[in-house]
Structures are given as C-alpha cells and as structure tokens.
Chains A and B, each alone.
Chain A
Amino acid sequence: MPGDDGLVLTAEEQSMLAGEQGPATAMCMRLIVGVARANGAGRLVPIESAHADGCLYHGVAGLEFTERLVSLGARVRVRTTLNVGSLDLLHPGLVRADPEVAENGRRLMDAHVALGCEAIWSCAPYQSGHRPKQGSHVAWAESNAIAFVNSVLGARTDRYGDFIDIAAGVAGRVPYSGLHLQRNRAAALVLDFSAVPAALLDDDVAWPAIGALLGELAGTRVAALTGLPADLNDGGVTEDRLKALGATAASAGGVALFHVVGVTPEAPTLDAVLGPGATTVPVTAHDLRRARERLSTAATTSLDAVSLGTPHFSLSEFAALAHELRAGPSFSPSVDVFVSTSRAVLAEAEARGYADAVRDAGGRILTDTCTYVTPVLRDGIRTVMTNSGKWAWYAPANLGIDTVLGSLAECVASARAGRVVRDERLWG
C-alpha cells in the first residue's frame, strides 16, 4: 500500500487553495491537490507551459466544466496552447458534424479561448511554435504531444488529459510525480534495432511500424531504442520520424517517454538512461513487418480515401508531399485525399506554394481539427490509406473503416492509381 499522505504546499499554494486568488484558481487547485494526493506526491511543481486537449468535445460535462471556469473568471497563468477542436473554423464546409455537436463544440472552443489559451488548434504544438526547453516542467495533454515533448524535446510532463490540463494552466502547478521525477524517466526496456537493414529504416513507413512495436512491447513503460542510425540517407532520424514513432507508440501502448540512444536529448549513451534490471529485446525486420500488418486491416487493394497528417502535418512533410506531386498526374477522382494540419503550418505552406500543389492535385486541407476525431470522410468510405500509425490504430474502431499503412510516397502513388500500391521489397 502506498504511504500516508505527505503532501506539502507552499504558502502561495495554500493561498490559492484557500480562495484568496479567486474561486477559479481555488477550484483548479482542488483538482491538482486531489490528483497529487491520489498519486502520493510530496509537493507540487511550478510549470512553464501547458497544452490543453480538453477543447475537443466529448460531452456536456466537459462543456459545463469549462464554462464554469469562464464564469468564475479563470485565466491561465502560464502559456497554454490548445489541441484540436471539433470544428475547422477556417474551412467549415469540410466538417459534417451534427448540429448539436457542432454548436457545443464551438462553445467549448470559445470557452478555452476566453480562458486566455492560444488558439493554435493543433495536436503538434511542437511544430507550431511551442517548444519547451529541455528539463523544464510542463503540463501537456494529448498522447502524441506528451510523447514528443518528453522524448524529443526533453521537457517533463506526466500523462495529462481532459480537465487537469486546463486546471494546471490556471493554477500553474502540477503534482510532482510520475514523469516529472528523474527516477521515473529511466528505461525499463531496451529494444535493439541493429539487425534491421538500413534500407528499411531509410523508408518513412518503418517509423510508425517501430512505434507500433514499441507500444506493444513497452505498454506504458519507458524504453530505450538502440541501433537506430542517426545518419540515414533521408536526413537521419528526423523530427517527423520521431513524431510518427511516438504517436503510434502512444496509441498502441500508452508510451509517454522513449529514448533513442544517440539521438534524443536525455540519451547520449545507453548508460545515461538505463534503469536497474532493464531487459533487452532484439528486433528484426520480420517484427516490423508484423507491426505494419497490424496497422493494415484492409484485405483488398481497393481504395476510397487517403488521410495524411495525424499528428498534424509539418512544413517539412508538406515539402516532401509537394516534391512527390511535382510533375506527376493528379489524384484519381475516386480517391478523396485529406491533409490535416495546423493553421500556422498551413500559412507557411501557402507561402511556399505547397498548399496549392496539394489542391491542384485534387487534395483537400483540413485545419483546427483532424479527420479521425470529427466526421469529415463521406459516407460509404470503406478503405483508407494513411502514413500515420495513430490514424491506422484508431480508425477501424472509431470510424468503422479498414486501413492500409504506407509511406508518403506509397500514399501518393495509391491516390493516383485509385488502388493500394505498396513496395514490398523492403520488408524481407
């Protein structure tokens, strides 16, 4: 049994809890302290920023909670960015939500803006200008953002979700527990990729497959990945590859922190992150093929749509897509192509001509939300190809469709051909 409650609050925190800084701060502190007591935390820790995902509508309770905060006069006291909402405010015609959900979704988004949050509406805040520095304490919600900020940026967040994220933004504090503590950031598991051919690791599609395998083997444990070369032909272990890896691992297993030895900031060497009693698992190309197949539920090569950008497409992904589209045919009229991104990245992609390249080929660009959290795909769509392991993991259950995982190049080739086209030679 965990020990007795030993939570110690500073004078400032006691003042906030007692209501001396307003009823909204007091309410948020009650939530933070309640979680701290449940977690057995000894104290709270100030945070430098927050990323809130409670702005996606899940029901009346979340709306009433947020509007209560607004009515009590709450304001966030640290920089707080917002995750995707239920609507595309820039392209309202693309979302097909029912009127009540659309209305409540809009109210929920408005309420978060009224609290002083930044309306970036992105699940990849780290590619929309919000990049906490290594070692800083933050309160980030949304599973892929949590994995990225912990692993790739080396800031410290525990797994936060609805309600506690915005409460942390208002109170500026979180329990000093979980992944805020150094001892909980050590690897309990080592996955060794040195036997996987470099040609496979050079292909983008390997990275969501690595994430799926990591999620399956690690669950919620911290893992260290060795044998992933930092000098691959296509730019090495790029940020977008780590994004794809982390998003899939967070979906398939609940991974909130991983270390890529020689690449991510807390893992210059394996010894720097190795926890006591960690076990090592060798990984083969066959393991990755099996992971890829778990993300591909479609039994045929017929194709109705392609979905890119879960997490939100980055500027470099737009550049790669525009490169693939250059001087080639348009997409087949039978295939709907969607790219989900943030409005900030879209503005950059417009300036560089990437967005027009996508539209000229017949694709559509969605902002502020995502094709897997709100109805965008038309009725009758059965099979969707994606380069996102997260999208492929959730879509069969959430959207009732079949998925095919492929690289960006395979997604483009398939959208043009009107059927699934994949290069099987890499997989051995």
Chain B
Amino acid sequence: MTLSGRSLHPGQADGVVLALDEPLSFWGGVDARGVIVDAHHPQRGATVAGQVLAMQAGRGSSSSTAVLAELIRSGHAPAALLLAECDAILVIGALVAAEIYDTSLPIVQLTHDDLARLHTGSQAAVLAHTAPRPATVIAKIR
C-alpha cells in the first residue's frame, strides 16, 4: 500500500517497521545503542536503531532533541520516523544532524488511521521531500 503524508524532515529510507504501542521519549527512553530502556514502556528491550519507527507522538523532555542527534551521529538512530502528531523536538534533532553530520533522517506525519495500518515486522520504504512537497510511505501489507 502507498500512504501519502506530510514531510516534517526530508530524507529517504528503507527498513522494517517498529510500531510502538505508546509514545516514547528519547531522553531517558532509549540507551546509546537505540535500545528502549524506559521501564514503563510496553516495548522495553526493542531496538529502534535502523527501524522505520512508527509512533503516534513523541513524549517528554525537550532534551530528546539532543539524544536523537546523538543517535544519528553514532549510527543508532531509526532509519525513519513516522508520526501522527508533529513533534518539533524530534524535527530539530534531525535538522541539527543534517547541518553538522550531513545526514537526512526522514520524518513523516501520517493520519492516525494510516499510521495504524503499519505493523511491526513489515517492510517499508519512506520518501520525504523538502516541505511543502509531500512524503510517501510504501509498505508491504502482512
């Protein structure tokens, strides 16, 4: 299936979907290798590194910005972020990493319904153009 969304940060990526059941704060929520360590998160122990990470919204501290930039720098960031609600905190992390490390982590806003159609384990290809041009997510349906 092909979903169209709103580009929050440009980039292109392919990967396996990790669909989170609850929002995740990067600050305090993931370790330096991208493993979810938040004791309250239902998917504690899962790894976000290299995944197409789908979650309804970000959560928590504004320092998630620095944590995401650090994960991008060290190569442990998700391959792409798919959100139902715009999260400027995560967008800034991607913008800063683009400036200083020449990376391009795509961040795409989908409708809640479209986001819910993405399941953990399926393959997805994400293409986000520079806003206001659109973004597309092509996913295999299980």
Contact = CB atoms under 8 A, between A and B. Distances in A.
Interface of A: 1-2, 4-5, 27, 30-31, 34-35, 37-40, 53-54, 56, 58-62, 64-65, 68, 141, 143, 159-164, 254, 397-398
A34 B66 contact: no
A163 B132 contact: no
A163 B89 CA distance: 10
A61 B96 contact: yes
Contact of B61 (A2, A31, A161): A161
A54 B60 contact: no
B62 A31 contact: no
Contacts of A5: 131-132
B32 to A, nearest CB: 8
B138 interface: no
Given A38-B9, A38-B91, A68-B99, A61 B61 contact: no
Interface in B65-93: 65-67, 69-70, 72-73, 86, 88-89, 91-93
B28 interface: yes
Interface string B26-53: 0110000000000100000000000000
Interface of B: 5-6, 8-9, 27-28, 39, 60-67, 69-70, 72-73, 86, 88-89, 91-93, 95-97, 99-101, 107, 109, 111, 131-132
Nearest to B111: A1
Given A1-B5, A38-B91, A61-B73, 19 more contacts: A2-B109, A4-B132, A5-B132, A27-B99, A31-B99, A35-B88, A54-B66, A59-B66, A61-B66, A61-B101, A68-B100, A159-B62, A161-B61, A163-B65, A163-B66, A163-B96, A164-B65, A254-B60, A397-B39
Nearest to B38: A397
Given A31-B99, A397-B28, A62 B66 contact: yes
A192 B65 CA distance: 35
A2 B86 contact: yes
A31 B8 contact: no
Given A161-B62, A162-B62, A163-B69, A61 B100 contact: yes
Given A39-B88, A61-B73, A254-B60, A161 B65 contact: yes
Nearest to A34: B95
B86 A39 contact: yes
A31 B92 contact: yes
Contact of B62 (A4, A27, A62, A143): A143
Nearest to B107: A38
A106 B73 CA distance: 21
Contacts of B69: 59, 61-62, 65, 163
A39 B107 CA distance: 13
Given A2-B86, A31-B92, A68-B99, A160 B62 contact: yes
B36 to A, nearest CB: 14
A67 to B, nearest CB: 9
A59 B99 CA distance: 16
Contacts of B27: 58
B86 A30 contact: no
Contacts of A35: 88, 91-92, 95
Contacts of A34: 9, 91-92, 95
Contacts of B95: 30-31, 34-35, 163
A5 B7 CA distance: 10
Nearest to B131: A37
Given A34-B91, A163-B92, A60 B86 contact: no
Nearest to A251: B61
A276 B109 CA distance: 27
Contact of A65 (B6, B63, B96): B96
A21 B117 CA distance: 46
Residue among B9, B67, B93, B99 facing the most chain A CB atoms (10 A cut-off): B99
Contacts of A1: 5-6, 109, 111
Nearest to A142: B62
Nearest to B39: A397
A398 B27 CA distance: 11
B63 A38 contact: no
Contacts of A159: 62, 89
